[in-house]
């Protein structure tokens, strides 16, 4: 063994003369161990044979190759997609009886444009797009702050960062980096980084506006010299999903530090909040929006102060997130008494107190279509006081806690009770017509709740069928004990829809469909009922004129008459006011133009609500502590 050992070179056979490093060290160790054997040291034989094992040398060679490549050599080029497609095609060719899918894949991969695409991909992937930077000087002064040189290629996107000036020192700092913007995606610029130079021009002492001007004038690559800030704290909270409860326009918010970096949103918009590090200004993007770039939105913290920042962008490129509010979006629109309907003597008919077609069909009684309740609703809506929900941030600063509602994605489990379906719409739009048709077509699936009333029972009516007829005291007791989802008074009698009557329908395994006055929405938005709220919107007055030539509508407690032109305008006005105030609660909007189509839309929406995932308030899933 020793003889053979002396014949061995210092390095393993096949080892390159150029190979140094670990293999070299190992060879020296082996030599040491060999000498140990000569000195008859215990275990040296074993160690010697282990260290001379060929596999160990192969492993070391692989390791050295990898280290060498990653350090000095250019990235190895692997035309991966093209090669893979060739391999796939040759495998398919080798198949005796390729399946139709394999044949289709072969044809697709063979197309010249597909080949060109793959080849383009490979060439792009191979290229190194990093800037060529000057070598570092050999000797750096001891007191030199570490400087980062960042090269960004100017394109049509905003750079997505804001800058601010420290008034004491005159230093310019990066104030914030907007998620999804160019600066963020570069990963090289961070809030707090001190900006030293832009394209070779020193910026200390300059006004932020001047720095922006330098950026505007530069073309192609922009080279920044920055002194990096200390490591960034990680975002403490995971992504949060919210529904906007107000309209917001950064251009109209005097508190925002940089309106250009803000993001406008409207009531009901779903927002993904990706950064809450700044307690005053969060970064968010709209869900389902094509734009990757986030924008600033106010946080729910009350105390916001304005600290001036400038949007570090290409000024001739408007920030894509910004959309000024349309005039119709802003402010309060009160419904006036104008909406009251006027009777004419040539085209009206009197209706009996409760009589309406369609409530009693071939032995089937459909509850919940009592017109007294509906007339009361109309009057009640006219009396409504403005709600704080409808104010913009600028108008109602103390509502910031109501800016957003946290939402989660919810899919109803097959064993869960059906979600309550709530229809909302201006009087006369056709809410009851749609509801009636839905229940009539499929009474085994859909049902309305039976309302309570204090009015006397009429001939032919049955208690607990048309109504739950109750004494005034019982009704008052139920009111005090919050038993009603909504209640009101008409012609001296009380009417109400109780939570229990809705539960009765749900317990029967049916989908409960109710129509509700919008200011009662909060009474149904509960974990138990998990309502899906559908707003029924009128089509244009012109379209209503076409579709509502024949129908009569309920003008007041006693009169049914044809629609007049003025009615259509009033329905439209009422609809706009309702939507302006409550649209943040609407899960779906149906335009009731053609009746058949609207019925179909309603049917689809209800199916969607019961069977597909929806964004619902997160509070529905918060455990309730006793």
Ligand X SMILES: Nc1ncnc2c1ncn2[C@@H]1O[C@H](COP(=O)(O)OP(=O)(O)OP(=O)(O)O)[C@@H](O)[C@H]1O
Query: Where along the sequence are the contacts to ligand X (CB under 6 A)?
Result: 374, 378, 425, 427-433, 547-548, 551-554, 592, 595, 598
Beta bridge partners of 452: 468, 496
CA–CA separation, 597 and 594 (whole Å): 5
Q: How far is the CB of 467 from ligand X (least distance, A)?
A: 17
Look at residues 349, 496, 368 and name the one whose alpha carbon lies nearest to residue 436: 368
First to last CA, the chain: 83
d(CA 208, CA 172): 7
CB of residue 347 vs ligand X: minimum separation in angstroms? 13
Of 44 and 595, CB closest to ligand X: 595
CB of 513 to ligand X, least distance (A): 13
Closest contact distance (angstroms) between CB of 88 and ligand X is: 55
Shortest gap between Cβ of 400 and ligand X (angstroms)?
35
Task: Specify the residue, 554 or 616, whose C-beta has the smaller distance to ligand X.
Answer: 554
Q: How many CA atoms lie within 13 A of 193 on its CB side?
A: 27
Nearer to ligand X, 77 or 350 (CB): 350
Nearer to ligand X, 246 or 536 (CB): 536
Distance CA 223, CA 530 (A): 54
Helix 112-126 and helix 80-94, axial crossing angle in degrees, nearest 10: 140
Per DSSP, the three-state class of 580 is helix
Name the residue with tokens 């003369």: 17
C-beta separation of 267 from 245 below 8 A: yes
Backbone angles phi, psi at 547, to 5 degrees: -85, -20
211-244 in b/e form (b: 16+ CB < 10 A) is bbebbeeeeeebebbbebeeeeeeeeeeebbbbb
Which of residues 243 and 437 has its CB atom nearest to ligand X in the complex? 437
Chain centroid to CA 293: 13
CB 115 within 8 A of CB 85: yes
Minimum CB distance to ligand X, residue 446 (Å): 16
Query: Which residue, 274 or 574, has its beta carbon nearer to ligand X?
Result: 574
Q: How far is the CB of 504 from ligand X (least distance, A)?
A: 23
Rank residues 407 and 554 by Cβ distance to ligand X and give the closer one. Answer: 554
Q: Which is nearer to ligand X, 321 or 571 (CB)?
A: 571
User: CA angle, corner 198, sides to 193 and 200, nearest 5?
Assistant: 125
- Closer to ligand X by Cβ: residue 31 or 356: 356
Total length of the chain: 626
CA proximity to 183, closest of 163, 164, 162, 161: 161
Distance CA 95, CA 91 (A): 7
Q: Which pair of tokens denotes residue 314?
A: 């290409």
Q: Please choose, from the candidates 446, 439, 395, the residue with its C-alpha nearest in 3D space to the C-alpha of residue 420.
A: 446
**CA nearest to 292, candidates 324, 263, 317, 260:** 263
Burial class (CB in 10 A: 0-12, 13-18, 19+), 537: buried
Facing residues of 496 across strands? 452, 487
Considering beta carbons, is residue 432 or 523 the nearer one to ligand X?
432
CB nearer ligand X, residue 192 or residue 443: 443
Taking the C-alpha atoms of residue 485 and residue 479, their distance in angstroms, rounded to an integer, is: 10
Question: Taking the complex as a whole, how short is the minimal distance between the CB of residue 334 and ligand X, in angstroms?
Answer: 19
* Smaller CB separation from ligand X, 158 or 426: 426
Q: Are 393 and 298 in contact (CB under 8 A)?
A: yes
Q: Is 450 exposed, middle or buried (0-12, 13-18, 19+ CB in 10 A)?
A: buried
Q: Report in angstroms how near the CB of residue 546 gets to ligand X at its nearest.
A: 9
Please state, in angstroms and rounded to a whole number, the distance separating the CA atoms of residues 264 and 257: 14
From the CB of 308, what's the least distance to ligand X, in Å?
51
* Best CA proximity match to 164, nearest among 216, 206, 197: 206
Q: How far apart are CA 525 and CA 520, in angstroms?
A: 9
**Rounded to 5 degrees, what are φ and ψ at 320?**
-65, -20
Q: Which is nearer to ligand X, 282 or 535 (CB)?
A: 535
Q: Which is nearer to ligand X, 386 or 551 (CB)?
A: 551
Nearest to ligand X by Cβ — which residue?
Answer: 430
Smallest distance, Å, CB 589 to ligand X? 15
Rounded to the nearest whole angstrom, what is the least distance from the CB of residue 593 to ligand X in the complex?
6
Residue (160 or 430) nearer to ligand X, CB: 430
Least distance from ligand X to the Cβ atom of residue 505, Å: 19
Q: Are strands 467-469 and 451-453 parallel, antiparallel or unpaired?
A: parallel
Q: Could you give the CA distance from residue 399 to residue 405 in angstroms, rounded to a whole number? A: 12
Question: From CA 49, how far away is CA 2, in angstroms rounded?
Answer: 11
Q: In the bound complex, what is the minimum distance in angstroms from residue 353's beta carbon to ligand X? A: 15
Name the minimum Å distance from CB 440 to ligand X.
Answer: 12
Beta strands in 480-526 (DSSP E): 484-490, 493-498, 511-515
């Amino acid at each position: 063994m020793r003889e053979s050992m002396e014949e061995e070179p210092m390095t393993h056979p096949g080892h390159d003369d150029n190979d140094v490093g670990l293999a070299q060290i190992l060879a020296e160790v082996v030599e040491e161990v060999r000498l140990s054997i000569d000195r008859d040291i215990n275990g040296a034989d074993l160690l010697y044979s282990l260290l001379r094992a060929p596999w160990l040398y192969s492993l070391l060679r692989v390791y050295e190759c990898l280290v060498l490549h990653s350090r000095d050599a250019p990235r190895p080029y692997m035309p991966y997609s093209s090669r893979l497609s060739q391999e796939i095609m040759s495998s398919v060719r080798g198949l005796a009886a390729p399946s139709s899918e394999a044949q289709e894949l072969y044809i697709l991969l063979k197309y010249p444009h597909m080949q060109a695409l793959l080849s383009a991909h490979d060439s792009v992937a191979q290229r190194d797009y990093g800037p060529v930077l000057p070598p570092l000087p050999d000797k750096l002064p001891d007191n030199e702050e570490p400087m980062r040189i960042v090269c960004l290629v100017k394109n049509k996107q905003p750079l997505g960062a804001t800058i601010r000036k420290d008034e004491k020192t005159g230093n310019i700092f990066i104030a914030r980096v907007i998620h999804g913007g160019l600066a963020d995606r570069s990963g090289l610029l961070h809030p707090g980084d001190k900006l030293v130079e832009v394209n070779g021009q020193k910026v200390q002492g300059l006004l932020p506006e001047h720095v922006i001007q330098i950026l505007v004038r530069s073309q192609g690559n922009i080279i920044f010299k920055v002194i990096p800030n200390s490591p960034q704290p990680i975002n403490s909270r995971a992504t949060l999903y919210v529904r906007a409860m107000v309209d917001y326009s950064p251009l109209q918010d005097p508190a925002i530090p940089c309106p250009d970096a803000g993001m406008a949103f409207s009531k009901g918009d779903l927002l993904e909040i990706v950064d809450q590090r700044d307690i005053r200004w969060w970064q968010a993007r709209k869900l389902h929006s094509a734009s990757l770039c986030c924008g600033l939105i106010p946080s729910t913290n009350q105390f916001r102060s304005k600290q001036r920042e400038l949007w570090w962008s290409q000024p001739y490129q408007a920030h894509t997130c910004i959309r000024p509010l349309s005039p119709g979006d802003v402010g309060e629109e009160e419904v006036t008494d104008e909406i009251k309907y006027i009777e004419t003597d040539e085209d009206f008919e009197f209706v009996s107190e409760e009589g309406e077609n369609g409530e009693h069909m071939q032995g089937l009684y459909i509850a919940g279509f009592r017109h007294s309740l509906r007339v009361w609703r109309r009057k009640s809506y006219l009396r409504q006081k403005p709600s704080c929900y409808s104010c913009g941030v600028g108008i109602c600063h103390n509502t910031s806690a109501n800016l957003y509602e946290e939402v989660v994605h919810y899919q109803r489990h097959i064993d869960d009770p059906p979600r309550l379906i709530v229809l909302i719409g201006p009087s006369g739009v056709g809410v009851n017509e749609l509801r009636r048709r839905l229940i009539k077509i499929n009474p085994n699936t859909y049902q309305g709740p039976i309302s309570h009333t204090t009015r006397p029972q009429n001939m032919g009516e049955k208690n607990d069928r048309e109504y739950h007829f109750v004494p005034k005291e019982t009704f008052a007791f139920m009111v005090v004990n919050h038993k009603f989802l909504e209640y009101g008074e008409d012609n001296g009698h009380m009417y109400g829809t109780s939570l229990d009557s809705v539960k009765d329908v749900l317990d029967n395994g049916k989908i409960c469909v109710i129509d509700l006055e919008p200011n009662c929405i909060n009474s149904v938005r509960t974990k138990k009922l998990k309502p899906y709220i559908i707003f029924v919107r009128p089509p244009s007055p012109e379209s209503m004129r076409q579709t509502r030539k024949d129908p009569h509508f309920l003008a007041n407690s006693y009169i049914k008459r044809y629609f007049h032109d003025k009615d259509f305008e009033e329905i439209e006005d009422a609809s706009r006011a309702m939507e302006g105030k409550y649209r943040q609660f609407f899960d779906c909007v149906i335009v009731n133009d053609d009746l058949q189509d609207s019925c179909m839309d309603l049917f689809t929406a209800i199916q969607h609500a019961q069977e597909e995932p929806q964004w619902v308030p997160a509070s529905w899933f918060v455990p309730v502590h006793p």
